[in-house]
Amino acid sequence: MILRLKHIFANHATRTKNIVSKSNFSVISVKNNIISKGIDQKETGMPWKATYPLFWVDVETTGLDLESNILEVSLVVTDNNLEIIDEGVDLVFSYPDTVLENMNSWCKKTHSESGLIDLVKKSTLRIDEGEKVLLEVIKKHCPVPKRAIMAGNSVHFDQMFLFKYMPALQQHMHFRIIDVSTINELGKRWAPETTKYFGKKMGNHRSRSDIMESISELRYYKKTLFSQKP
């Protein structure tokens, strides 16, 4: 019996060793594949996940609830130092007049004054076509699925709309986001003397200008709140 048990444990140990060896081989293969794409932790000093660029998005919609439609979306890509590495795209989508007429008074006024309604009426672009354009830009800078991180102000709002109407994006984006609004709110509470100097936003409710303001805001916080080492 004792000899039989020893034999069983020996076989189990051998199988476990083989499994671990195969697992290590897989990890090494993945790591080498990542490094071959130019993402090397030794060079950056950061975990490889943190070396991917940031994908800044903003949408303009016909309302706040998820039954509303996306009128416009912009995408800008920056590196980790918030330098723009790809100007990205600005997409305005086509809708029938009935969709625009059903917007509430605030949306009608805001999107009319910004010129967005006129652009929607002239557009021939469909949502599914826009999805392909956005995905092409994202994959260009982050080919690995579930790694691309979305950034912006209150970007969870934009994320909800994009994931609903452009589901292919959800398959490629990371579940984490970088929400500049969170830093703003924490700054008001913990560093009010610093954050108050950022200045007032234009807030003209066009997607590209909103993105550029968000990038500028995070640059300010990076310089004032994140520049000191512990």
Overall average pLDDT of the 195-204 stretch: 72
| Residue 207: strand, helix, or coil | helix
Overall average pLDDT of the 120-147 stretch: 97
10 has a pLDDT exceeding 60: no
Alpha-carbon Rg of the chain, whole angstroms?
24
Catalytic residue among 7, 111, 156, 205: 205
Residue for token digits 């140990």?
13
pLDDT (tens digit per residue) in 46-101: 555 577 899 999 999 999 999 999 999 999 999 999 999 999 999 999 999 999 99
Cα end-to-end span (Å), the chain:
61
Residue 188: count of CB within 10 angstroms of its CB: 12
Overall average pLDDT of the 4-26 stretch: 40
The predicted structure's pLDDT at residue 52: 85
The identity of residue 58, as a single letter, is D
The predicted structure's pLDDT at residue 227: 80
17 has a pLDDT exceeding 60: no
pLDDT category of residue 3 using cuts at 50, 70 and 90: very low
Q: Which are the contacts of 42, defined by CB distance < 8 A and separation ≥ 6?
A: none
Residue spans of the domains in the chain: they are 2-40, 52-224
> pTM for the whole thing?
0.78
21 has a pLDDT exceeding 90: no
Residue 151: count of CB within 10 angstroms of its CB: 23
Overall average pLDDT of the 7-29 stretch: 39
Overall average pLDDT of the 102-114 stretch: 97
8 has a pLDDT exceeding 90: no
| 156 labelled catalytic | no
Residue 39: count of CB within 10 angstroms of its CB: 20
Residue 218: count of CB within 10 angstroms of its CB: 23
The overall average pLDDT reported for the chain is 83
Residue 200: count of CB within 10 angstroms of its CB: 5
52-224: CATH architecture: 2-Layer Sandwich (3.30)
The predicted structure's pLDDT at residue 124: 99
